[in-house]
């Protein structure tokens, strides 16, 4: 029997998301980055996907992850670029350049916050953007991404 190729998605988290659980819990909740990563791995598995979760506080490293996704033939990207969403033309250009289906996610409702958060360069490059659902936004993003790349829910045997 031929071995099936595992489809991989990247889940990329930007600056300060390593502080989840302790950083502004009134805004971001008490879940940690490890909780987010477990949620992503578990959700992706429901669609026969493998989530490769990464976090960086450095813009260039996030760009490198996006380029690597292209080189490795990754099926999709979920990105929470944090504050870089509002400032990084480089991330926008990387997402557009690799042409990998991408969903932007934010834990908080950025439109209920400071006005500088109301614009997102990464959202303009993504096919969808979610905000305000807490960490459950990652589950919703992966579900939407799976539908976009036609990954079917796996039956539980």
Active site residues: 28, 106
Q: Is residue 99 left, alpha or beta, with left meaning phi > 0 and alpha meaning psi from -120 to 50?
A: left
Could you tell me which of 105, 101, 79 has the C-alpha nearest to residue 90? 79
Could you tell me which of 57, 125, 116, 119 has the C-alpha nearest to residue 91? 125
58 touches 82 (CB < 8 A): no
87 touches 119 (CB < 8 A): no
Q: Which residues contact 34 (CB under 8 A, 6 or more apart)?
A: none
């Amino acid at each position: 029997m031929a071995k099936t190729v595992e489809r991989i998605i990247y889940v990329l988290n930007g600056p300060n998301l390593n502080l989840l659980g302790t950083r502004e819990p009134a805004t971001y909740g008490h879940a940690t980055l490890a909780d987010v990563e477990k949620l992503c791995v578990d959700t992706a598995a429901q669609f026969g996907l493998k989530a490769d979760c990464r976090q960086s506080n450095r813009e260039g490293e996030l760009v490198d992850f996006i380029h690597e996704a292209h080189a490795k033939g990754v099926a999709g990207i979920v990105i929470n670029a944090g504050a870089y969403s509002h400032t990084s033309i480089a991330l926008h250009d990387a997402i557009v350049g690799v042409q990998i289906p991408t969903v932007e996610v934010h834990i908080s409702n950025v439109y209920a916050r400071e006005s500088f958060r109301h614009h997102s360069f990464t959202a303009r490059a993504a096919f969808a953007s979610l905000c305000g659902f807490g960490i459950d936004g990652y589950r919703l993003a992966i579900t939407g991404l799976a539908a976009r790349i036609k990954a079917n829910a796996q039956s539980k045997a």
